[in-house]
Each structure stands twice: as structure tokens, then as C-alpha cells.
Amino acid sequence: MVKLIISERKIEETLILDLSGDITFSEGNVVLRKAIRRLIGEGQKKIILNMENVGYLDSSGIGEMVSAFVAISREGGSFKLINLPTRIYELLIICKLLTVFDVSENTRNALAK
């Protein structure tokens, strides 16, 4: 299991979280949850998760992403995913979550929506 590391960068009003590692039960999902909750508490309403360097996503990680989507949507914000690795993209297809999440190929496309 590879620890999840999150780097933040801001483009105008949108905060991009560059994720690196695994989003899995116990550590990865907790790290993601704390980061999202902190950002919502700080009033951040536009968040993009850059998944390019995520190696593995399990059911708890998926649950955490759904929870983040719901929490941000309740605040009138937007939650998007970019740069999905093929394996994770296919997992979201199987789980029928591509109809829930706003997914783009890259930052430029996500910001243009």
C-alpha cells in the first residue's frame, strides 16, 4: 500500500488537489476526507481531483469520493475528476459513477466546463 500524498494548487477560484498514491481503506480515504472537509470548512466550493498518479482505488476510496461530491454539491460547489488512469476509469464505469462525477481529460478541459 502506497501512502496518499496530496498537493494543492489554485487556478482562479478552483482548487486542484494533485493526488499521488493509493486511496484505500484506513489511510488513503482518511487523508482525502480530512483534506476535503478542511477545504469545505475554509469555504472552498470548486475542487478538482487530479487522479493521474493514483495507483489504486478501493471501495472505501470510491465511497469517500462520493461523500466529497455530496458535501461539495450541498454547498453549491463543483467537484470534478481529471486524468483518470485507465484502471480507475473502468472501475467508475462498472460502478456506474461516470454519470455522477464530472470527469475530464485534463485541467484545461475541466476549467472550461
pLDDT digits (tens, 9 = 90+) for 86-95: 999 999 999 9
How confident is the chain (113 residues) per 10-residue block, as mean pLDDT?
A: 90 97 88 95 97 95 96 96 97 95 96 92
Quote the distance between the C-alpha of residue 62 and its chain's center. 9
User: Phi and psi for 104 in degrees, rounded to 5?
Assistant: -130, 160
Residues 6 or more apart whose CB falls under 8 angstroms from that of 85 comprise 51, 52, 54, 55
Domains of the chain, by residue range, sit at 5-112
- Asked if 10 and 44 count as a contact pair (C-beta separation under 8 A), the reply is no
**Looking at residue 1, what is its pLDDT?**
61
For residue 62, give the C-alpha cell.
470510491
Q: Which CATH number fits domain 5-112: 3.30.750.24, 1.20.1260.10, 1.10.10.10, 3.40.50.970?
A: 3.30.750.24
For residue 35, give the C-alpha cell.
483534506
Please give the helix or strand (H or E) that residue 53 lies within, else none: strand 46-57
Verdict on whether the full-model pTM lies above 0.85: yes
